[in-house]
Amino acid sequence: MRTRMIALSTFLAMAALLPAGPSVAGRPDFSIGLGAGYFLPLGDWKAHRYAGLDQFTGHVCFQGDFEVRWSRPLAFAVDGGYIHLGTGEWEDYAALYGDAVDASASIFYVGLLWKPCVWEDRYNALSLLLGVNFSAPAGQETFEKDTYDYDFMKNKVGYQLGVEFARDISYSTALTVSVSGLFIPSGVEYADGLKYTIVGLPLTAGVRFRF
């Protein structure tokens, strides 16, 4: 609870300290962003504890958000994403020892983003991505006829930090590229008490529709 309060207080303080941008006449702008790309896992959390290899590797990811923007710094979004983790390295290792293991793992997250625009011209804009989300890592593997869940992957509050570049191609449509860091403290927690922070970089390209 204390960690969540500190994160929320920091988020609100940063919003208050930014200079006000130019007001948007009339109602706020609404948009929907959709993107897909590659998730690059980083750190020790992805390693198998005993096999000496990566149990989880990079794979495809998807993201989307609903954004409301009143002025340059005053923009918020409800966002979500799905990350499919690669498990082929672990499956190949098991196969070398005669074990037919079918594994899968993923991370789903949904939360709130603060998206202040830090630079823009007539057609381009660069925004920060600062978010708090609920993250749900999950995984399982099937060995012969038995299926086991990865109970060491824990649902946790996570954080997001990154940038999004948008290039207008029409009044209502923009192409986007984003890179961000996803952090889930204690997202991996083993029965013996060992904990790891899930860290990774979602690299995505997509499109934003304004209405």
pLDDT tens digits, 81-128 = 999 999 999 999 999 988 889 999 999 999 999 999 999 999 999 999
Q: Using 50, 70 and 90 to split pLDDT, how confident is the model at 26?
A: low
User: Which long-range contacts link 6-13 to residues 24+ away (Cβ below 8 Å)?
Assistant: 7/132, 7/157, 7/159, 8/132, 11/114, 11/130, 11/132
27: alpha, beta or left? (left if phi > 0; alpha if psi -120 to 50)? beta
Tell me: pLDDT of 15 over 60.
no
Alpha helices by DSSP H, the chain: 2-17, 88-96
Residue 90: φ, ψ to 5°:
-70, -40
State pLDDT tens for residues 141-193.
Answer: 998 889 999 999 999 999 999 999 999 999 999 999 999 999 999 999 999 99
Domain boundaries, the chain: 2-13+31-210
d(CA 193, CA 199): 19
d(CA 109, CA 83): 9
Please give the residue that has the higher pLDDT: either 126 or 10: 126
Assess if CATH 2.40.160.20 describes domain 2-13+31-210. yes
**What pTM, to 2 d.p., does this model score?**
0.85
pLDDT at 9: 47
d(CA 151, CA 83): 18
Please answer whether residues 47 and 53 qualify as being in contact, where contact means their C-beta atoms are separated by less than 8 angstroms: yes
Please answer whether residues 163 and 125 qualify as being in contact, where contact means their C-beta atoms are separated by less than 8 angstroms: no
State pLDDT tens for residues 125-150.
Answer: 999 999 999 999 999 999 888 999 99
End-to-end CA gap in the chain: 37
User: Facing residues of 23 across strands?
Assistant: 71
